[in-house]
Amino acid sequence: MAENKLITPDPWTRLQALTRARIALGRSGVSLPTREVLGFGLAHAQARDAVHQPLDVAALDAAFRDAGFATRTVTSRAPDRVSYLRRPDWGRRLAESSVSLLKASAPAPAKIAFLVADGLSSLATQRHSLPLLQALKPWFPDLCACPVVIATQGRVALGDEVGALLGSEMVVVLIGERPGLSSPDSLGIYLTGAPQVGLTDAARNCISNVRPEGLDYPEAARKLAFLLAGAHRLGRTGVELKDDSDERLPDERPEAFALAAPA
């Protein structure tokens, strides 16, 4: 009770129920209350851990296989986490051994390939990549026919090389986003058509902040389904492809098309 008398409340306190952002923290004198300082320190530590924690590739690979997906595991040219953070360009290209692996074991081409990469939050990838694809299954019954490549030390553009090697018309990259102080486990989705090395971000569409506390799995899957259908119809992605999912009726479905190559 004595502590509460020392804290001057913020008039925006009621807005805390609407967001996880760090707002309406109040003050004690000219400083933040001790609990908020400690909370900030905890959030900062969680963000740092998300960046440096290695992806549990074996567990993630087993989970995808148990769910019916065919997987392959690769690495980028960044040999370790320090190199990955210092040399973003290395994270955009596959290691030579991984190029050889995909060339030697590439399945029959599918319209879509999925790259699941650690990015800047392996925590996000570990938690949300498989639930997101499971939420996408009702929109595309043959989803499990699409190859899933799991990558470590990967950046978004790594999907361009993966998609090109697999002969896919489109590549979807599921990757851990840069952690924030209230969201250490946010997953990003990047859709790129006609993948090839050297594309810019203008060729991609992005769905961000996928996690239960942000954009939940069903809604993220719905947006991705409409983007995939639009990309299939237009034959391109990026700045020419608009996300019109919010303009559709809640029960409206995107145009259906087969993801697997014909036998």
Average pLDDT over residues 251-259: 83
Res. 18 pLDDT band, cuts 50 70 90 = confident
Average pLDDT over residues 163-178: 95
pLDDT score recorded for residue 124 = 96
pLDDT score recorded for residue 245 = 86
| Burial call 100-120: b when 16+ CB within 10 Å, e when fewer | ebbeeeebeebbbbbbbbbbb
pLDDT score recorded for residue 263 = 47
- The continuous run of DSSP H or E covering 206 comes out as strand 204-210
Residue span(s) of the chain under CATH 3.40.50.11240 come to 54-247
Cβ partners under 8 Å of residue 202, min gap 6: 238, 239
Per-residue model confidence as pLDDT tens digits over 63-115? 999 999 999 999 999 999 999 999 999 999 999 999 999 999 877 778 999 99
pLDDT score recorded for residue 212 = 93
pLDDT score recorded for residue 112 = 94
Task: Decide if 98 contacts 157 (C-beta within 8 A).
Answer: no
> 117 has which bridge partners?
151, 175
**What's the one-letter identity of residue 118?**
D
Closest to 185 (Cα-Cα) out of 113, 242, 246, 127: 127
pLDDT score recorded for residue 262 = 53
Q: Annotated binding site for adenosylcob(III)alamin, which residues?
A: 156, 177, 206
On whether the 54-247 domain is CATH 3.40.30.10, my answer is no
pLDDT score recorded for residue 1 = 45
Which residue has better confidence, 30 or 58? Answer: 58
